[in-house]
Every structure is written in structure tokens, then in C-alpha cells.
Chain A
């Protein structure tokens, strides 16, 4: 039977953020903003949801006197993403 898709990941922007973080060790807020083309406010909200779910880690610091937010995926987030992709494949190729 089909497993329900993870509601945390099954949202365009959150999925975009997690997909980006899957390809890198860590990325700053501006990189995510440039990659997703979303607004800062919207990204902040989705980051908070992902952080609360334990899927990403957020480190805040200062770089050249400017706030610098670094994001990275956690083991839990990585596992959830892999699970999500496996489930997607099952939906698309139910016979396999």
C-alpha cells in the first residue's frame, strides 16, 4: 500500500530548501534565497517549521558585522528526505 507523503516535506518551498541542503554540507540564508527565488519572510517561516521538525540545523552568527544564518540538514532530515523520495517513486511506479 502507499505510505502517506511526509507533510513537512510535501510543500514546494520546504522541499526546495531540503533538496538544496541535501547537495551541500551547509549553506547560508542568502544562498537558499537565491536558489529558491522566494521572499526572506516566507523562507524564514519554512525554515522554522523544518527546524522544529528536527530536519535542519540553524546556526546564527555574524560575518563582517552582518548577521549570517547557516543551515545544514540533520540525520533525521536526510532520512526523511530519502524516505520521501522512495515513497514518491512508489506513487509514480506502483508496480516496481
Chain B
């Protein structure tokens, strides 16, 4: 591949095609967003089931303490493997999303495990609002409207949760997982697959 006599039109087309091809290679396929949505839904749905069957005290710790860190470990391995497999380069966008993802994840875990007493009834709304912020930023960064809108709706759910009794906070989390993560994640996955066909 080396042609020295390019016309100006060919040169511009080559530049456009190369930049498009480069961008496509590090596009997020929604896998991680779906993973966290399903994880979040599973944790709160199972907690609800345990609470109505009277098993809550036995199993809540197992789900929360094991499933979320397990998700974080899976994400770490998945991201590393993807970067190595695709030889992904360093980009500003990738750096922003990765740093924000980890910072947000760690903050949510610290809040959940160390400050749940202090936060009391505000725990779930704060959790949802922080999650919503990251979805809004990611949606805007990768210019994917459903994710951005999902983040806004999640943000709204977070504020509305302040008005709900604590017993219903789990439902807000489940709704938030579906609207803010699972649906936009699936749409993102579909959009990327269609683009790659």
C-alpha cells in the first residue's frame, strides 16, 4: 500500500476513512454497561426476594459484597484483554472514560461499605445520582444519545428516590438499572454491531 500520486480528493478521502476506521476500533460496545446494569438489577431484585422470603439477613452480604467486586474484577480483566487484543492506543476519550469509571466505581463502593450509616436513607438516591452522572458524561463523550438520555432519566429517578420510603429504594435501583444501563447498553451494542456489518 503506497501510492505517491494521490489526487487532492483521494487524499482527503483517505484521511477521512483512516480517522473513521481508527475511531471505530476503540468504540465501546455496551458490554460493560449491560454487565453493571444486570448486576445492579440482580443484586436488588434478589435482596427483594430474600426480604419477602425472610432470608435477607443470611444472603444480603453475599450478594452485595461478592457480586459488585466480582463485577469490578471482571471489568478489569475484560478491559485489559480488549486493549491488548485490539492493540488499542491511548486516547483522551479512553483516558477520561476509564478514569471516571474507576473513580466513580471506587467512590460508590466506599460510600456503600463505609458510609452507609452516615448516609442513611440518602444512600440509594446518592448512589443513583452518581451513577447517572457517569452515564451522562459517557453518553455525551461517545455521542450516543440513548445513553445520555438514559443518564438524565436515571438522574431524575435519583432525585425522586429522596421522596420514597426506604423500603422502596430497591425498586428505584432496579428501575434505574433497566432505564439507565441495560436498555441504553443493549441499544449501544446493537448500534455498534450494525455499524460493523
Contact = CB atoms under 8 A, between A and B. Distances in A.
A and B pair up: yes
A91 B9 CA distance: 9
A12 B87 contact: no
Given A23-B23, A28-B89, A10 B1 contact: no
A62 to B, nearest CB: 15
Contacts of B86: 31, 34
A58 to B, nearest CB: 14
B8 A88 contact: yes
Interface string A21-59: 011111110110011111000100010000000000000
A24 B11 contact: no
A70 to B, nearest CB: 9
B1 A42 contact: yes
B19 to A, nearest CB: 5
Contact size class for A? 20 to 34
A1 interface: no
Contact of B11 (A15, A37, A46): A15
B119 interface: no
Interface string B1-40: 1111010110110110011011101000000000000000
Contact of B1 (A22, A24, A37, A89): A37
Interface of B: 1-4, 6, 8-9, 11-12, 14-15, 18-19, 21-23, 25, 86-92, 95
Interface of A: 5, 10-13, 15-16, 19-20, 22-28, 30-31, 34-38, 42, 46, 84-85, 88-89, 91-92
